[in-house]
């Protein structure tokens, strides 16, 4: 038994040395041009199919680094979006300060990294037919299905004044309550995971799962447009409050609602502040949106996979040049 283990370790060592010290191990025969070749729709069509890689087929080091970086960019947007939305401003969110938001994003990234290692490795459970993880290259990220439920729960907590949470102030206790609820309810999903696939497909047909996915996306549209126009905090609620007071025939609204509440964003670190729906906010968000559309139409496979992150980075670059950003909260 020990001899087999030693031979196995020796083979692994020799394989690593050969991989690192040879040109073929670094570059190999991978089609790098396909990853970075942009496409022109309706004019040129590739007649060759993309290379298919088997489950345990090895990649050259350079190709593995490129596609790994591509995968990291593709997953980054999905992992950080949920904590950024939930920790943001608005009566449906937590209204947390920048230190709390940084903590939530960092926690999401760390948890995603650890759980992705378990998912990809596929750890066998001894003396059972089960394993932890699929053994496939798949990322365990934050789920958008929790957003509508969490936002509804946060809104209810604020309306009832639980945990001393006001309608607009920070409410970190609601986040703790949500985590505790998830820890209790997750065991139902664990139990469901032991059911045979035939039962799951019968209980959750494509019509059900597809409808749920559509409703989740539809529920996020409002949050996306609010953030595009400047934010979902007091500046957004200001315009709604003014409309309600005008409908009631209230006079001298400026004495009741100071105009300072209409300025976005509410963060103290913001250099540039404008009213909700200002053209500057619309323009900055349009840069990100148009970048994603252009990359989706004309971009290479590498860029299309990472288009969300590229759009974010380009928007951040433009915002930095126009003096919208402030690194004091990071420092």
166 within 8 A of 137, measured Cβ to Cβ: no
Locate 225 and state its tokens: 């447009």
The secondary structure of residue 50, as a DSSP letter, is P
Do you know the residue count of the chain?
331
Domain range summary for the chain, segments of one domain joined by +: 58-194
Looking at per-residue confidence, does 164 or 244 come out higher? 164
123, containing H or E segment: strand 123-124
Q: What is the pLDDT of residues 104-145, one digit of tens each?
A: 999 999 999 999 998 888 888 888 888 888 888 788 888 888
Q: What is the pLDDT of residue 292?
A: 92
For the stretch 63-101, what's the b/e string if a residue is b when 16 or more beta carbons lie within 10 angstroms of its beta carbon?
beebbeebeebbbbbbbbbbbebbbbbbbbbbbbeeebb
Instruction: Report yes or no on whether pTM surpasses 0.85.
Output: no
Per-residue confidence at 287, pLDDT binned at 50, 70, 90?
Answer: very high
Q: What is the pLDDT of residues 10-40, one digit of tens each?
A: 888 888 888 888 888 888 888 887 778 888 7
SS3 275: strand
Locate 41 and state its tokens: 């729709």
R_g (Cα) of the chain, nearest Å: 25
């Amino acid at each position: 038994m020990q001899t087999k283990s030693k031979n196995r370790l020796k083979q692994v060592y020799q394989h690593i040395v050969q991989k690192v010290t040879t040109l073929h191990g670094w570059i190999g025969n991978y089609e790098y041009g396909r990853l970075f070749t942009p496409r022109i729709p309706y004019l040129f069509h590739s007649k060759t199919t993309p290379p298919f890689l088997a489950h345990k087929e090895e990649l050259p080091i350079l190709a593995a680094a490129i596609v790994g970086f591509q995968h990291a960019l593709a997953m980054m947007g999905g992992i950080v979006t949920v904590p950024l939305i939930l920790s943001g401003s608005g009566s449906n969110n937590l209204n947390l300060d920048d230190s709390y938001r940084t903590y939530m994003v960092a926690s999401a990234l760390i948890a995603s990294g650890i759980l992705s290692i378990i998912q990809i490795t596929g750890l066998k459970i001894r003396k059972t037919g089960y394993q932890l993880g699929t053994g496939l290259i798949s990322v365990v990220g934050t789920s958008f299905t929790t957003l509508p439920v969490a936002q509804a729960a946060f809104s209810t907590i604020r309306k009832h004044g639980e945990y001393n949470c006001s309608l607009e102030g920070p409410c970190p206790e609601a986040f703790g309550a949500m985590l505790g609820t998830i820890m209790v309810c997750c065991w139902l999903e664990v139990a469901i995971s032991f059911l045979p696939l035939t039962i799951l497909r019968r209980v959750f047909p494509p019509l059900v799962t597809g409808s749920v996915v559509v409703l989740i996306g539809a529920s996020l549209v409002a949050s996306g447009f609010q953030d595009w126009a400047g934010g979902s905090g007091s500046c957004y609620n200001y315009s709604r409050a003014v409309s309600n007071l005008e409908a009631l025939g209230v006079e001298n609204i400026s004495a009741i609602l100071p105009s300072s509440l209409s300025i976005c964003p509410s963060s103290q670190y913001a250099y540039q502040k404008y009213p909700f729906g200002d053209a500057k906010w619309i323009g900055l968000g349009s840069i990100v949106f148009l970048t994603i559309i252009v990359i989706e139409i004309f971009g290479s496979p590498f860029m299309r996979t990472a288009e969300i992150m590229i759009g974010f980075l380009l928007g951040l670059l433009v915002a930095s040049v126009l003096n919208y950003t402030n690194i004091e909260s990071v420092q």
